[in-house]
Structure 1
Amino acid sequence: MTVTIDYYFTLISPFAYLGHDVLLEIAEKRGAGIRYYPVNLGAVFSKTGGLPLPQRHPARQAYRWLELQRWREVRERPLNLRPAHFPTDPTLADCTAIVLAQSGGRVADFAHRAFRACWELDRDIADEHVISGILDDLGEYKGNILASARSEEVRSIYADHARQASEAGAFGSPVYVLNGEVFWGQDRLDLLDQALASGRAPYRPL
């Protein structure tokens, strides 16, 4: 029986960007599947008590800068700490990922390229032309996908993902859930890998 990782993320998250390719490598190595749940992070915060970045205490904002620099070095990724288009609205990109996930499209590859567009290439993932170009590069038929990404049906799914995330115990991006056990942050990927390797029973809150 194939084990499955539930992956809660938004494509505007630098930490999800830093962990994305590592997650894919772990899943392939351990024979695990991935269910993709792009989420509106603001909606997740409102349900779980989180704060948008500008509203956080200066000490928390400063620590975020340190972590981004540390993990950029560890992951050996060309992360731009001050991208030209951040913050920006990730809704179109996130909803495009939902459409690809539901249709069996190349959602992992799309996410990889959308992350790079923002955090390496200084492109605006709120721009339809940027998303369209990524779909072109992947050989995905962009017309139907973009129309679906804008549909009320997919926007409703996007909103529901925030509810599902909070019910699963996810409160940020990225969060990986394995057999109900929450792993928050790409810096917990080693622990996720160990849990997959051992096949141990999931830990539960006390």
Structure 2
Amino acid sequence: MRDNNTDAKLIDRVKQGDDGAFVDLVNKYKDLSLSLAHSIMKDRDKAEDVLQDAFVKVYEKAGSFKHQSAFSSWLYRIVVNTAYNALKKEKKYCETEHFNQETTNIEERPETDTIREDDQKKYIVMAMERLRPDEALVLRLHYLCGHTITEIQEITGFGISKIKVDLHRGRGHMEEALEDLLGDQVKDLL
């Protein structure tokens, strides 16, 4: 709750023209916002462009924030919408896109018997990139950001059933992708 109060104070200061407060909000939320944009765009440079556009929108629309939900939910909704709009402009997004079945060459698998802790994040990111954008987004919001299904619905505009299905399928696809990347060593990571 303390975070929400801090965010509320910062956004109120932004509404009054305090650019320093906006910088504080950007610094607080840029990493998770970039992660969300990247899960949709699948390209870091494009995700950074989306994030920049999203933060410009947040700054321009700060006056319309009503404190009816958490600032983070409002921000993530803008990031998600901006990313999907960018994909539509590129004509790359398709609701019926299937899970990428591409497998990894054996030489790309780790050579040691156990996965080093610093490699774990790399393999998780590689596996996330193989997921459908909706699945990756829902998994990130739920597991990395800690949002509830109701909050994810508010952020994405997806129905509760779709969110539950994406969580279920996303976990399965994530496990398959990790097995492709790591073979038998996947149990060390999970």
State TM-score, norm by structure 2: 0.29
Between structures 1 and 2, the one with greater strand share: 1
Tell me: higher relative CO, structure 1 or 2? Use CA pairs within 8 A at least 6 residues apart: 1
- Select the structure that is richer in helix: 2
User: TM-score w.r.t. structure 1 length?
Assistant: 0.28
Q: Work out which of the two has the higher radius of gyration on C-alpha atoms and give 1 or 2.
A: 2
